[in-house]
């Protein structure tokens, strides 16, 4: 990119934002990116929106606008306007969490690149270099985007994140069309338009905790409540969860709480200040009777089990078969079936099967293979003299 700063418009008032909307409500496409700060707070703060369109370059300042972004959000949800992003799931998730806005009519260059030979996920810098030969400087990714006014280097960085988007869109669209994969990519883009994509289980941290699998029933219930307390307290204070209760102390609290709050104060691995401030709270949480709702959540915790060596071999074989097919098709295997999803299918998780889906994967891998993959939790491997057979278990 050139070192000179391109012309752009700064939008930091309601009138200017409305004028921007009137100018763009009938365009066919816009490209955009966001800068935000999530450290030391529960609710991520949106600090800047960069936009590129046929009319030029724009920096929208959500802080100066006091978060009133209605006109811009109308463009995001307008199905007549194509929105071009790179790794846009982060941007759309933020807009959904803050405003409840669902996007419509999307093209994501990171997703598209995964269908035409790039690794997935590919960085913006590598994709720009691969498609345009230009080298981006990435020195301001963690700059203070809350500070005002912006300095020239910040503006340069922000604009560089959207300037290549139209070219990437055109180049990747042409490659997708050439490989007859535009409809594959479109199916993946459409996932970002669904409200279910942005749903996060409120008990996710507890259910996915490795610590949970090694506790007794009462300790599991306490850990579930501890995570919920931590989250609610962080939300109320608008602090990060780590500021409320650092994760490194959780296992010590869980294993020591059965001896009472005073025992926590004597635990050298738990800071005195933390034990004195919350010891009674933790003790009360531990002694509460387990509710029916909690029983339901605890029932969803994966069972602890050692994976047999034969199981590991079978999982690796499944993965390598798919990987070989991906190499033949020049498509990133992470677009098709990430390892964690494959393991989840093997363990029988219905949500994992839903994540794999049908449609373009069925077209790529073949109906027979997709049917076989859907029953991967019942497949058995048999080694014959001159071949390998996979059978229903």
Return the higher-pLDDT residue of 364 and 388. Answer: 364
- Residue 393, judged by CB atoms within 10 A of its CB (0-12, 13-18, 19+), counts as exposed
Taking only the tens place, the pLDDT of each residue in 255-272 is 999 887 677 888 889 999
Collect all residues with Cβ–Cβ distance below 8 Å to 210 and sequence separation of at least 6: none
Q: Which two tokens stand for residue 198?
A: 């942005």
Query: Residue 221 pLDDT > 80, yes or no?
Result: yes
pTM of the model: 0.88
- Determine which helix (DSSP H) or strand (DSSP E) holds 322, and give its type and residue range: helix 309-329
Nearest Cα residue to 182 out of 193, 170, 192: 170
Query: Residue 355 pLDDT > 70, yes or no?
Result: no
Q: Count other Cβ atoms within 10 Å, centred on residue 103.
A: 22
Range 1-40 burial, b when 16+ CB lie within 10 A, else e? eeeeeeebeebeeeebbeebbeebeeeebbbbbbbbbeee
CA 40 – CA 385 distance, rounded (Å)? 61
CA 62 – CA 51 distance, rounded (Å)? 13
* pLDDT given for residue 298 in this prediction: 93
CA 323 to chain centre: 23
Least-confidence region, from 149-163, 176-190, 321-335: 321-335
- Residue 46, judged by CB atoms within 10 A of its CB (0-12, 13-18, 19+), counts as buried
Assign a CATH topology to domain 9-198: Nucleotidyltransferase; domain 5 (3.30.420)
Quick one: CA torsion of 43, 93, 124, 150, rounded to 10 degrees?
-40
Return the higher-pLDDT residue of 359 and 11. Answer: 11
Taking only the tens place, the pLDDT of each residue in 50-65 is 999 999 999 999 999 9
Query: Residue 22 pLDDT > 80, yes or no?
Result: yes
- Quote the percentage of the chain above a pLDDT of 70: 84
Query: Residue 9 pLDDT > 70, yes or no?
Result: yes
Taking only the tens place, the pLDDT of each residue in 206-220 is 988 989 988 999 999
Query: Residue 391 pLDDT > 70, yes or no?
Result: no
Strands of the 106-108 sheet, one edge to the other? 9-11, 56-60, 45-53, 29-37, 82-85, 106-108
Q: Which two tokens stand for residue 217?
A: 């029933």
Residue 115, CA distances (Å) to 105, 174, 300 in order: 18, 12, 34
CA 201 – CA 275 distance, rounded (Å)? 29
Q: Count other Cβ atoms within 10 Å, centred on residue 277.
A: 10
Quick one: CA torsion of 192, 193, 197, 199, rounded to 10 degrees?
130
Q: Count other Cβ atoms within 10 Å, centred on residue 74.
A: 14
pLDDT (mean) for 285-303: 92
Give the chain's mean pLDDT: 89
Q: Where are the domains of the chain?
A: 9-198, 204-298, 309-392
Nearest Cα residue to 375 out of 363, 361, 389, 392: 392
CA 46 – CA 318 distance, rounded (Å)? 42
| pLDDT interval class at 169 (50, 70, 90) | very high
3-state secondary structure of 72: helix
Return the higher-pLDDT residue of 380 and 260. Answer: 260
DSSP string over 76-139:
HH-TTSEEEESSTHHHHHHHHHHH-----SEEEHHHHHHTTT--SSPPHHHHHHHHH-------
Among 101-105, 149-153, 313-317, name the most confident range.
101-105
CA 128 – CA 137 distance, rounded (Å)? 11
Confirm if 353 and 362 have CB atoms less than 8 A apart.
Answer: no
* pLDDT given for residue 274 in this prediction: 93
CA 350 – CA 361 distance, rounded (Å)? 17
3-state secondary structure of 194: coil
Taking only the tens place, the pLDDT of each residue in 103-144 is 999 999 999 999 999 999 999 999 999 999 999 876 555 689
Choices 3.10.20.30, 1.10.150.80, 1.20.1050.10, 3.40.50.11740: CATH for 204-298 = 1.10.150.80
């Amino acid at each position: 990119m050139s070192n000179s700063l391109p012309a752009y418009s700064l939008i930091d008032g309601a009138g200017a934002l409305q004028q921007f909307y009137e100018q763009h409500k009938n365009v066919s496409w816009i490209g955009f990116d966001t800068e935000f700060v999530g450290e030391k707070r529960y609710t991520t703060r949106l600090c800047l929106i960069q936009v590129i369109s046929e009319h030029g370059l724009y920096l929208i300042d959500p802080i100066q606008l006091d978060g009133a972004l209605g006109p811009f959000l109308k463009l995001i949800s307008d199905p007549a306007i194509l929105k071009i992003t790179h790794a846009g799931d982060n941007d759309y998730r933020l807009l959904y969490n803050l405003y409840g806005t669902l996007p419509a009519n999307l093209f994501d260059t990171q997703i598209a690149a995964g269908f035409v030979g790039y690794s997935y996920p590919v960085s913006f810098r590598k994709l720009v270099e691969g498609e345009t030969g230009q080298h981006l400087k990435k020195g301001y990714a963690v700059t203070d985007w809350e500070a005002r006014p912006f300095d020239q280097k910040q503006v340069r960085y922000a604009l560089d994140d959207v300037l290549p988007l139209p070219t990437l869109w055109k180049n990747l669209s042409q490659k997708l069309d050439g490989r007859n994969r535009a409809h594959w990519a479109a199916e993946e883009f459409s996932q970002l338009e669904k409200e279910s994509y942005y749903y996060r289980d409120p008990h996710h941290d507890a259910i996915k905790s490795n610590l949970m699998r090694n506790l007794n029933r009462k300790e599991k219930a306490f850990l579930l409540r501890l995570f919920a307390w931590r989250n609610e307290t962080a939300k109320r204070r608008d602090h990060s969860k780590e500021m409320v209760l650092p994760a490194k102390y959780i296992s010590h609290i869980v294993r020591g709480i059965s001896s009472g709050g005073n025992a926590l104060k004597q635990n050298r691995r738990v800071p005195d200040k933390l034990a004195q401030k919350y010891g009674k709270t933790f003790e009360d949480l531990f002694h509460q009777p387990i509710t029916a709702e909690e029983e339901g959540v605890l029932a969803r915790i994966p069972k602890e089990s050692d994976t047999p060596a034969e199981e590991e071999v079978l999982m690796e074989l499944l993965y390598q078969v798919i990987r070989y097919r991906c190499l033949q098709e020049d498509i990133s295997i992470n677009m098709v079936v990430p390892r964690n999803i494959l393991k989840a299918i093997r363990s029988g998780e219905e949500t994992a099967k839903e994540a794999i889906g049908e449609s373009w994967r069925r077209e790529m891998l073949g109906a027979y293979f997709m049917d076989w993959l859907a029953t991967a939790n019942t497949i058995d491997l048999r080694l014959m003299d001159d071949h390998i057979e996979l059978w229903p278990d």
